[in-house]
Amino acid sequence: MSQYQEKATVIRTEQFSEKNYRLTLDSPDIARSAKAGQFVMIRAGFGKDPLLRRPFSIHQTSTNGQIQIYFKIVGRGTDMLARIKAGDDLSVFGPLGKGFVIHENFPALIVGGGLGIAPMLFLAKSICRLKGDCGNDQIILGGREKVEVEPLVKDFKEFGIKMLLATDDGSYGHHGLVTDILSSLELHNRCTVYTCGPEPMMARVYEICKVRNVACQVSVESVMACGMGACLGCSRPTSKGTYAHVCLNGPVFKAEELVWNS
Amino acid sequence: MEFVNSRKDDLPDLRVNIGSLKIANPVMTASGTFGYAREFENLMNLHRLGAVIVKGISLYPRAGNPPPRIVETACGMLNSIGLQNVGVDRFISEKMAYLAELNIPVIVNILGDSLAEYQEITTRLCGVPGVAGIEVNISCPNVKKGGVAFGTDPSMAAAVTEAVKERADVPVMVKLSPNVSDIALVARAVEDSGADSISLINTLIGMAVDLKTRRPVLANVIGGLSGPAIKPVALRMVYQVASVVSIPVIGIGGIETAEDALEFMLAGATAIQIGTASFVNPRASEEVVEGIGNYVISEKLPSVRDIIGQLSVDLQ
């Protein structure tokens, strides 16, 4: 498992809403070795404040050595990243963590909510590449409002996977939650549900999967200082009563490995 | 001090002695920021380090504190990891073989809830191949004495030092807590009890509050502050301690660059430890070694030892 500290040049910046942004970075070593579900740690600046890198799941990679991150301004670090310009350099460290496990012989159902949509593009791309034909797979994407979903849909559509969309306010797709849609679907008994999004959403997705007896992989978020198992800051309670570390044991887990507060 | 001049002329002489422990350069990794070293093997050249200090080891495994365990603060971070570790037996059986093969001095940071625990861990580390030293963390609470940290009371700090020295078969470094009113007093007590060296500072106790939730950010309420924010405090304490003890002092606290490290050495540190900086830049410790070497060359110093304690102070 190789990891790289790259000085990545910003190729493109996109603003999708007041707070949602996407950056395209030239980061050839990471692009070449990353797997869907893995993440990178990025320094928002080069000074002492903010000091720590911020974790971002990899939104997608390209064969010409680029990676994308999709993020929302939630604090000072992400605010600085939102102001970055094409041509600027960023220190990027990765790829980190364990990604999704793809089962090529069975249907995949991807459920992404809000910022949790970020790693799902890479996953959808990887599933389609591996399978060749993703006619039995489905994607459910949701957000609070249209701007959180609509700008990302175009990239997903390239693979020809069936897409189902939802917004909390009904401004785009189904008026309601992604979990409403998930509940209404018939699931193949060997399918895998992949999910990333707010904690209550993932907890509900797992509940549905448990009842239907289908496999569920979750990608979870945590604050972390290093991203590589040194700081032990990103602990997460497991169903065995121990702590897992999101950076090393995750960020993707089998849902049943973790404790869910629903 | 004796240094046989066997080095090549183009290489800077970075060797320092921590008592009887001779190290190739003054850069060590601070406990709890470098795992068990293996985590960094693909990210840097571990052989460039003066010494590795591994994650604090207790007698029995510890699960650590519930999350959130860390939060970033201005120019630093707070942590309340809760001394999560595999315990001394698993450390020896699972981690030590790899560390011994690195052929760099490995210093094991130890912590306990009682004098008996400190002694038992020390005993179990005796004769383990690759263990070059012990660093005693005295910042953890003494359960028997009502949770007061060993390190905040000079007599208790002395008692721990004595207890570990009694059993240790390698040099003993005692890591001081800065959360005291007179650091020099604790340092002298530790020296008088036989410590071979003193490292400081451990983290400063701090707190962060979330205005939105009206709760402390850390699940443990309080945590240890580290990073560049604490460097001035660390420098002051290293200066104060180095002025009153004759054993080597190892400086810790917000060191990110060779310049930071050299400032600590001027203030009296024989060696330094890189902590939080390794989280941001896994190669930080190696870069500090390189930077110190460049400084020694550019200043035409016979050796890095020539700057230790060379701070000019005009006292009025």
- A40 CB neighbours in chain B (<8 A) are none
Residue A216 has what pLDDT? 97
Quick check: is B75 in a domain? no
Quick check: is B3 in a domain? no
Q: Per-residue pLDDT for B145 more than 70?
A: no
Global confidence as pTM? 0.94
Distance of alpha carbon A176 from alpha carbon A116, whole angstroms: 17
Q: Per-residue pLDDT for B6 more than 70?
A: no
Q: Per-residue pLDDT for A121 more than 80?
A: yes
Cβ B278–A226 below 8 Å, yes or no?
Answer: yes
Quick check: is B10 in a domain? no
Above pLDDT 70, what percent of chain B?
A: 94
**DSSP H or E stretch at residue A3:** none
Asked casually if ipTM beats, i.e. exceeds, 0.85, the reply is yes
Distance of alpha carbon A84 from alpha carbon A79, whole angstroms: 9
Quick check: is B136 in a domain? yes
Q: Per-residue pLDDT for A105 more than 60?
A: yes
The mean pLDDT value of chain B amounts to 94
- Please give, one letter per residue, the 3-state secondary structure of B116-132: HHHHHHHHHHCCCCCEE
CATH code, domain with B262:
3.20.20.70
Distance of alpha carbon A124 from alpha carbon A139, whole angstroms: 8
The mean pLDDT value of chain A amounts to 95
Per residue in A143-174, pLDDT (tens digit) is 999 999 999 999 998 888 899 999 999 999 99
**Which residues touch B305 (CB under 8 Å, ≥6 apart)?**
B1, B3, B13, B15, B16
Q: Per-residue pLDDT for B141 more than 60?
A: yes
Q: Per-residue pLDDT for A176 more than 90?
A: yes
Q: Is A213 helix (H, G, I), strand (E, B) or coil?
A: coil
CA–CA min distance B11, chain A (Å) = 27
Chain B CB within 8 Å of residue A53 CB = yes
Order of all β-strands in the sheet with B222-226: B70-73, B76-79, B222-226, B204-207
Report which of residues B316 and B49 the model is more confident about: B49
First-to-last alpha carbon distance for chain A, in angstroms, is 35
Per residue in B61-70, pLDDT (tens digit) is 999 999 999 9
Nearest by CB to A49, from B74, B256, B276: name it.
Answer: B74
Residue B143 has what pLDDT? 62
Residue B142 has what pLDDT? 61
Q: Which residues of B73-93 are buried (b: 16+ CB within 10 A; e: fewer)?
A: bebbbbbbbbbbbbebeebbe
Nearest CA to A209 among A185, A230, A174, A173? A185
Say which range, A146-160, A204-218, A224-238, has the weakest mean pLDDT: A146-160
pLDDT band at B147 (very low <50, low <70, confident <90, very high): low
Q: How many CA atoms lie within 13 A of A227 on its CB side?
A: 25
- A236 CB neighbours in chain B (<8 A) are 67
| DSSP per-residue letters across A24-79 | EEE-HHHHHH--TT-EEEE-S-SSSSS-S-EEEE--EE-TTSEEEEEEE--SHHHH
Above pLDDT 90, what percent of chain A?
A: 91
Chain B CB within 8 Å of residue A74 CB = no
Pair A185, A207: CB distance under 8 Å: no
How many Å separate Cα A72 from the centre of its chain?
13
CATH class of residue range A108-257? alpha beta
Clarify whether B126 is annotated catalytic.
Answer: no
Cβ B77–A52 below 8 Å, yes or no?
Answer: yes
- Work out the average pLDDT over B113-134: 96
Per residue in B169-208, pLDDT (tens digit) is 999 999 999 999 999 999 999 999 999 999 999 999 999 9
Residue A27 has what pLDDT? 97
Quick check: is B261 in a domain? yes
Per-domain boundaries in chain A = 4-96, 108-257
- Work out the average pLDDT over A55-68: 97
Pair B109, B55: CB distance under 8 Å: yes
Candidates B51, B104, B140, B174; catalytic one: B140
**Which residues touch B256 (CB under 8 Å, ≥6 apart)?**
A48, B228, B274, B277, B280, B281, B284
CATH classification code of A4-96: 2.40.30.10
Residue A47 has what pLDDT? 87
**Which residues touch A115 (CB under 8 Å, ≥6 apart)?**
A70, A71, A72, A197
Cβ A52–B42 below 8 Å, yes or no?
Answer: no
Residue A261 has what pLDDT? 81
Cβ B43–A5 below 8 Å, yes or no?
Answer: yes
Q: Containing domain of residue B146, as a range?
A: 16-64+82-203+226-307
Q: Between the CA atoms of B148, B150, B153 and B154, what dihedral angle is there, to the nearest 10 degrees?
A: 170
Q: Return the structure tokens found at A89.
A: 């350099």
Quick check: is B29 in a domain? yes
Quick check: is B5 in a domain? no
Count of domains in chain B? 1
Per residue in B239-283, pLDDT (tens digit) is 999 999 999 999 999 999 999 999 999 999 999 999 999 999 999
Quick check: is B133 in a domain? yes
Q: Per-residue pLDDT for B2 more than 80?
A: no
